[in-house]
Structure 1
Amino acid sequence: MPDGQIGYGSRVRIGVGETPTWTELEFVGDIDMPDEQIDEIEVTHMKSPGRRKQFISGLTDGGEVSIPMNYIPGSATDVLLLGLKASGETVQVEITLTETGTPEIYAGFLKGYARTAPVNDKMMATATFRLSEAIDP
């Protein structure tokens, strides 16, 4: 078996509501998974060893995830994302890598929905979600 894998079959679903109603985003392209970052807190004091700054870990910033996709005006995905952008509602974002992967679920809001319509290429859209927490599936 090869020591690598492609992302083919990966999917993104959006869960809306207290008991989520899930909608799969259509025509999703390359997915960059969220890169959570941990804040650093400086705790340096007058007797810090070796005159070195000292740090401890702080809170985790969930970061953002951008989902590129083929843009189809008026599609179910387009209507959903336009509505989420207008409402500012917190939703669940479920990302499953490959057809057999384990879903990762995050809570967040739709921060941006950029759409392009080039003259001689396919129309594209990117939905950017600002994440606030990871949720156990």
Structure 2
Amino acid sequence: MASTGVRIGHGSTVRIGRGSTPTWTTLSGVQDFTFPNKAPNDVDVTSHDSPGNSEEFIAGLQTAPDWALSKHYVPEDAEDVLLQDLEESRELVLLEVTPVGATTPHVWQAWLKTWLPGVPVKDAMKGEATFKVLHKVVA
């Protein structure tokens, strides 16, 4: 670790929690990812008396973004079966992201929109899971 505390992201985890008392599954083979972008929409409140001949905006509701995650694909393993099941059921789950070195995970409620495995000829098989991220869960 550098003197500034910065480090590489290797060792971060992504887990899916199912049920009212969640049963957690740690996703393996996860590639690079960013956090879901929950930036609020801009609401235009410009009027004829807006100051300085300028547009005016206020913060609107936070978006429910799509969040894509690339991971290794192993046909019919437990994670593939889980992701197929979640894609079909549209079940609400907990999506937990813990960056390496963090003590408190970030948790959102979400549902899986798509699980798209890829089968290239000359590369490792990977799939992309796309979640609809609803809101942050506060413990």
Match of 1:38 in 2: 40
TM-score in terms of structure 1 length: 0.93
Alignment equivalent of 1:68, drawn from 70, 93, 116: 70
Give the C-alpha shift of residue 62 in structure 1. 3.5
Alignment equivalent of 1:123, drawn from 113, 125, 130: 125
SS in 2 for 1:83: helix
TM-score in terms of structure 2 length: 0.92
SS in 1 for 2:84: helix
Superposition map of 1:1-137 within 5 A: 2=2, 3=4, 4-98=6-100, 100-137=102-139
Larger mean CA deviation between 76-85 and 21-30 belongs to: 21-30
2-structure distance, mates of 1:110, 1:87: 9
Aligned residues: 137
**RMSD over aligned Cα atoms:** 1.4
Percent identity between the aligned chains? Answer: 38
SS in 2 for 1:85: helix
Which string of whole-angstrom CA distances, capped at 9 and with x for unpartnered residues, describes residues 71-94 of structure 1? 000111100000000001111100
SS in 2 for 1:69: strand
Give the C-alpha shift of residue 99 in structure 1. 5.1
CA contact (8 A) 1:8 1:99 kept: no
CA contact (8 A) 1:43 1:56 kept: yes
2-structure distance, mates of 1:117, 1:99: 33
2-structure distance, mates of 1:58, 1:72: 41
One-letter amino acid of the structure 1 residue matched with residue 136 of structure 2: A
Larger mean CA deviation between 123-132 and 18-27 belongs to: 18-27
Which string of whole-angstrom CA distances, capped at 9 and with x for unpartnered residues, describes residues 12-34 of structure 1? 11011122111111211112211
